[in-house]
Structure 1
Amino acid sequence: MGNEEKRIFGVSWTVFMLGIVSFLNDMSSEMIIPIMPSYLTEVLDAGKLLSGSVMGAIESMSSLFKVAFGYVSDRFRKRKVFVFTGYALSTLAKGALAFTRYWWDFLIMRTLDRVGKGIRTAPRDALIAESSEKGKTGRSFGFHRMMDTLGAVAGPLVAIGLIELLKGLPAERAYRYIFLLSAVPGIISLLVIALFVRDRGGEVKKKIKGISTLKDRNLQLFLTVVAIGALGRYSYAFTMWKAQELGYSIVQSIAFYALFNLVYALSAYPIGTYSDGFGKKRMITLGFGVAALAALAFAYARDLYTLLLAFAVYGVYIAIEDTVPRAYMADLAREYEKGTVIGAYHTVFGVFVFPASVIAGFLWQSYSLTSAFTFSALMNVVAMVLMAFVREG
């Protein structure tokens, strides 16, 4: 499937337009993501453990819905309606952050945003897989992650510009204006989906009798490794807190975060494309090793150059982890259950991301940020070793 569509930059029209949608939506998200840690601790006055737990809960929340909506989109053979609904809910929730007053209503709005992500992610990834040339899923997912992350580069830069523009205002009011303005790119992305994204789910053959891919032992082992690796996936907020711990301002911290996203954006497409030939299992294994190096760099960063290195290596790690496992799962899944199988990956990953940030928050509060990052490095080393027992396909 996907061969009939015209190709742009080596990917189908559908994948290209979904890349535009992700660019706009991630610009919207990343306008507010870099200021949320400070907003949570300084404006809403949440403590370290609570802040870490709230950010972890937000990271995890969407994943509880991904397998369910992936399954529903498989059953109804419709993808676009779930993609549109998910993005619409997220756009509404991001704008509504401007009116939060306490950590719990902040959590409610962020939860609604993540629910929106949970609704759209598996159907969207299944649509990408269905619109990809056979054997080129890595290229398609790499392009999509590149576009998504270019939005994540633009978002913090827009945030820096807005902070400078609004610096005469009290910080709390400036934050609220930025939350409100973040809804604008989200609204444009909804128009792109409605007008230009083609639904491919109706072309998927109905389910035939047979054993589900999810019952495959190799896939179950891989999902176990994913769970262990997820325990080492601290929230991005910890990298921001690390920069601030070293004495850098909120604007400087956002600049570091923009560097991370730039490295991520430049890495995702070539990594995804290369994984098609190199082997997705080997690339995922390498990713766990890069993750451990990034965590150790953050743990022991004491100067600007080590911190810059940490953010850059972190960008390569996330580029691998957010690109290749999706393509790997899409390759393993039968045609009629791609939404379910990809959703299962997202759900397992997300369920274990929450305790990861709770543990990191506890270690930060009880010991230090160094301890939190060291724990992450350990979990990723364990996952890297266990990948030796996973077959390529």
Structure 2
Amino acid sequence: MQDSGKNNYFSRLREIPPAVWALGLVSMLMDISSEIIHALLPVYLVTVLGTSMLTVGFIEGIAEATASITKVFSGALSDWLGKRKLLAVIGYGLAAFTKPIFPLASSVGWLVAARFIDRIGKGIRGAPRDALVADIAPANLRGASFGLRQSLDTVGAFLGPALAIGLMWLTANHFQAVFWVAVIPAFLAVGLLLFAVHEPKRPQGLRGARSPFSLVELKRLGLAYWWVVGIAVVFSTARFSEAFLILRAQAVGLPVTLVPMVLVLMNFVYALAAYPAGVLSDRANRITVLAMGFGLLAAADLVLSFTNGLAGVAAGVALWGLHMGFTQGLLATLVADTAPPELRGTAYGIFNLLCGLAVLAASVLAGALWDGVGPEGTFLAGAVFTGLALALLALTRRIAPTVGQTPKSA
């Protein structure tokens, strides 16, 4: 039985369409590029350009809000055009062409512009890319396909900061030299997307979405889709920024020079878990697998609430990474399962916007609790919101019984 399970695991990898692999590698390369820069940018702004922490916070807040808002419109536009790849190329292309600005910039204004355009690119590509994965992947491999893309994306998320540390050591802290290295994977990502990903032909008889944001079209998304979005939004209020993991590690004595290792550990575990979780969701009820992910977040919150040492924080961070692996790709899969094919771009845009706003609100609340009652209050509140999301998940069979049933290929 064990050998059969392993064979099934690896055979699924072979069965996943090459275009999904390519999209995953595109995400990985762009993440490596972006994370090399983003891991160093706050320090560069403060120590080299002399900006204030308030300015750093303003830049990051505006950048992420821009990405979330843009996702909605790019997803709807991909439905209206009936084309996904074009928008994905534009989004990744914008991000790539901003990368040389970082080593060349001589003022904060140039960096703000580059960060802003980079996030616009992220917003443009996000929803069309996810819809493209859903269009390409066979229904019975959808969980594995989203899990693979998420795994490869997250490999970039931990390789980027790790490379930033190594490159800063090799270059004796020469920020501009490291930023130039980050340019290379960004342009490789765009080239791979252009030449290795071929958009499938639109199925005959599939109706067009002339006004994706009209009330008629939004109703077509259906109860099952909106139920998934509702659960995801409540769950996102428990998923505040990973910056609080770093603060927790610092609070128990992690040296500042080792702070990036918190995100490296989290993303390493995340990358390892995402594909197996996707495969499991193709073989079992997706709601059951999602409940496991919710439970892992609750466990992470409890560990991080009560630990007083680095070993406990490491365990909590690893559990946080596991929960990400069991939830993020799976939630994207559930959107693909429940949204009509002609409205998938719009569906992902709305989903990403609402979840992004929920994470923003959660991070503000987490910060207020941290200042008011300490880290214990922050992580215990996260556990409470996770419990609420689990309670909603338990109602799924009654409210939207089709959600979580694994589709079969034709």
Aligned partners of 1:86 and 1:120 also within 8 Å: yes
Q: Report the residue type matching 1:166 in the other structure.
A: T
Shift of 1:177: 4.1
Provide closer, same or farther for how the CA distance between residues 58 and 245 of structure 1 changes in structure 2, counting only shifts above 3 A. farther
Cα distance in 1 for partners of 2:314, 2:35 equals 19
Match of 1:223 in 2: 229
Displacement, 1:238?
2.1
Q: Which residue of 2 aligns with 1:162?
A: 167
Larger radius of gyration: 2
Q: Hey, what's the Cα distance between the residues in 2 that align with 1:376 and 1:177?
A: 40
Contact 1:136–1:276 (Cα < 8 Å) also in 2: yes
Cα distance in 2 for partners of 1:100, 1:283 equals 49
Given the alignment, which residue of 91, 107, 127 partners 1:86?
A: 91
Partner residue in 2 for 1:4: none
Deviations 1:21-54 (A, max 9, x none): 111111112223434565577663315xx86776
Q: How far off is 1:214 after superposition? A: 5.1
Q: Find the residue that maps to 1:267 and give its secondary structure.
A: helix
State the alpha-carbon separation in 2 of the partners of residues 272 and 374 from structure 1. 28
Determine the structure 2 residue equivalent to 1:65.
Answer: 70
Match of 2:6 in 1: none
Match for residue 44 of structure 1? 51
1:260 to 257, 262, 266: 266
Residue 350 of structure 2 is matched in structure 1 by 344
CA distance in 2 between counterparts of 1:45 and 1:96 reads 21
> What's the TM-score, normalizing by structure 2?
0.83
Whole-Å separation in 2 of the counterparts to 1:125 and 1:204: 21
The residue type equivalent to 1:288 in the other structure is F
CA–CA separation in structure 1 for the residues paired with 2:44 and 2:383: 28
Partner SS for 1:9: helix
Structure 1 range deviating more: 136-145 or 57-66: 57-66
1:247 aligned onto 2:248:
no
> In 2, Cα distance between the equivalents of 1:369 and 1:77?
47
Q: Which amino acid aligns with 2:228?
A: F
CA contact (8 A) 1:86 1:118 kept: yes
Q: Aligned residue for 2:335? A: 329
Q: Sort the Cα spacing of 1:371 and 1:182 in 2 relative to 1 into closer, same or farther, 3 A.
A: farther
- Relative to structure 2, which stretch is displaced further, 28-37 or 319-328? 28-37
Q: Select the residue among 108, 115, 124 that pairs with 2:120.
A: 115
- Compared CA separation, residues 370 and 311, structure 1 to 2 (3 A): same
Alpha-carbon spacing, 1:30–1:271, altered in 2? closer, same or farther (3 Å): same
Query: Does the residue aligned with 1:182 lie in a helix, a strand or coil?
Result: helix
Cα distance 1:254–1:372, how it changes in 2: closer, same or farther (>3 A)? Answer: same
TM-score (ref. length: structure 1): 0.86
Q: CA deviation at 1:59?
A: 4.1
Q: What are the within-5 Å matches in structure 2 for residues 336-375 of structure 1?
A: 336-375=342-381
Shift of 1:224: 1.9
- The 2-side partners of 1:90 and 1:212 are apart by 30
Q: Which stretch shows the higher mean deviation, 366-375 or 316-325? A: 366-375
Q: State which of 267, 271, 290 in structure 1 corresponds to 2:296.
A: 290
Query: Residue 198 of structure 2 aligns to a residue in which SS?
Result: coil
Query: Aligned residues: percent identity?
Result: 30
User: Counterpart of 1:89 in structure 2: which amino acid?
Assistant: L
Q: Which has the higher contact order (CA 8 A, sep 6+)?
A: 1
Q: In 1, distance between residues paired with 2:44 and 2:363?
A: 18
**Is 2:195 aligned against 1:195?**
yes
- Structure 1 residue 258: Cα displacement: 1.4
For 2:24, the aligned partner's letter is G
SS in 1 for 2:301: helix
Q: How far, CA to CA, are the matches of 1:142 and 1:286 in structure 2? A: 15
Aligned pair partner of 1:144 in 146, 149, 158: 149
Q: CA contact under 8 A between 1:143 and 1:269: conserved in structure 2?
A: yes
Post-superposition offset of 1:270: 0.5
- For 1:309 and 1:107, the matched residues in 2 are separated by 36
CA distance in 1 between partners of 2:115 and 2:133 (Å): 26
Q: 1:37 to 1:121 in 2, by over 3 A?
A: same
- The Cα of 1:125 is off from its aligned counterpart by 0.9
User: Which range moves more in the overlay, 66-75 or 307-316?
Assistant: 66-75
Residues 351-389 of structure 1 show CA distances to partners (whole Å, capped at 9, x for unaligned) of 222222222233334443333333222222211111112
CA contact (8 A) 1:95 1:181 kept: no
Contact 1:132 1:140 in 2 (8 A): yes
RMSD of the alignment, in Å? 2.8
| Deviation readout 1:237-282 (Å, 9 max, x if unpaired) | 2222322333323442222321211111111111001011222222
- Asked if the contact 2:238–2:386 (Cα under 8 Å) also holds between the matched residues in 1, the reply is yes
Can you give the 5+ residue segments of structure 2 that lack an aligned partner in the other structure?
Answer: 1-11, 210-215, 404-410
Aligned-partner Cα distance in 2 for 1:130–1:374 = 39
Equivalence for 1:3: none
Structure 1 unaligned segments of length 5 or more: list them. Answer: 1-6
- Cα offset for 1:349? 0.7
In structure 1, give the amino acid aligned to 2:277.
I
